[in-house]
């Protein structure tokens, strides 16, 4: 498989970076981080569960096994023999796992799984018999879940993602302004760079630079200048508008609330 930017292992980022994802909607909500996040692998979550109990984390991982409509497992494939972590959807919104090995981003609390407690706290009606293998083992109780495709996957087939909230990481290819840039995709045949627009200046804590790897969460939509300017009060320079329309008209654009520096460990790239 070609060298891909996405991690095959689950990258876990503490709640300082966590973004609360809504269901498939055109409205985004995000927690504002207090400082730079730290990163650990799922293997470390398993090995250090006691230290992480009660912490809210964000993982990006390829789902391994669906347990039932409310739960699935993730695993750090780069570590042979590492134990899976079960993710339980307590967001109150249904979620369908993506196909074609697409990763997902999950934000939730780390705890040891006790089905009876979850059924009582979240009114989930989990079937205990299905969770026997995971009882009292590390779990993430998800408050948000979103597909996390690569930029090229989105640009190659945007119709399946339009109107959905996506979690996307990538390397910055072009910077058009303080809140407008593209994420590079040169590893997927037929893929194109993905245009990203930040809704407001406060969403970029530090200037985005070319070749910087960033993480974003936003809603994918078709690039139509009139609609974007009307809905988000963008005040673009006429020259920039002409340039963007010439290059990205009718192509997808990811409209995001915030941009974060992505700190993916070298071993997981």
What are the residue boundaries of the structural domains of the chain, listed by start? 11-148, 151-268
CATH superfamily of 11-148: Bacterial OB-fold (2.40.50.200)
Residues 67/115, Cβ–Cβ less than 8 Å: no
What's residue 131's pLDDT? 96
What's residue 266's pLDDT? 39
Helix H, strand E, coil C: the string for 116-165 is HHHHHHHCCCCCHHHHHHHCCCEEEEEEEEEEECCHHHHHHCHHHCCCCE
CATH fold for domain 151-268: OB fold (Dihydrolipoamide Acetyltransferase, E2P) (2.40.50)
Which residue positions in the chain have pLDDT lower than 50? 1-38, 79-80, 263-269
- What contacts 28, CB < 8 A, 6 or more positions away? 21, 22, 165, 199, 217, 218, 219, 255, 256, 257
Collapse the DSSP code of 42 into the 3-class scheme (helix H, G, I; strand E, B; otherwise coil) and give the result.
helix
């Amino acid at each position: 498989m070609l060298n891909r930017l996405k991690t095959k292992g689950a990258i876990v980022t503490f709640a300082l970076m966590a973004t609360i994802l809504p269901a498939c909607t055109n409205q985004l909500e995000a927690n504002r981080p207090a400082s730079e996040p730290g990163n650990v692998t799922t293997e470390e979550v398993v090995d250090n569960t006691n230290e992480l109990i009660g912490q809210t984390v964000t993982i990006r991982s390829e789902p391994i096994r669906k347990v039932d409509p409310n739960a699935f497992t993730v695993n750090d494939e780069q570590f042979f023999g590492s134990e899976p972590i079960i993710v339980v959807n307590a967001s109150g919104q249904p979620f369908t796992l993506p196909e074609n090995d697409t990763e997902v981003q999950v934000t939730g609390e780390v705890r040891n799984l006790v089905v009876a407690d979850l059924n009582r706290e979240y009114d989930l009606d989990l079937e205990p018999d299905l969770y026997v293998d995971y009882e009292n083992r590390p779990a993430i109780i998800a408050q948000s879940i979103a597909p996390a495709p690569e930029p090229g996957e989105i640009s190659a087939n945007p119709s399946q993602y339009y109107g959905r909230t996506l979690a996307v990481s990538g390397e910055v290819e072009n910077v058009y302004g303080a809140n407008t840039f593209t994420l590079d995709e040169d590893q997927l045949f037929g893929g194109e760079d993905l245009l990203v627009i930040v809704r407001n200046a406060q969403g970029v804590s530090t200037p985005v630079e070319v070749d910087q790897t960033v993480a974003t969460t936003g809603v994918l939509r078709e690039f139509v200048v009139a609609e974007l300017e009307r809905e988000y009060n963008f005040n673009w320079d006429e020259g920039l508008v002409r340039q963007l329309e010439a290059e990205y008209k009718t192509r997808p654009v990811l409209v995001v609330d915030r941009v974060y520096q992505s700190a993916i460990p070298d071993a997981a790239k």
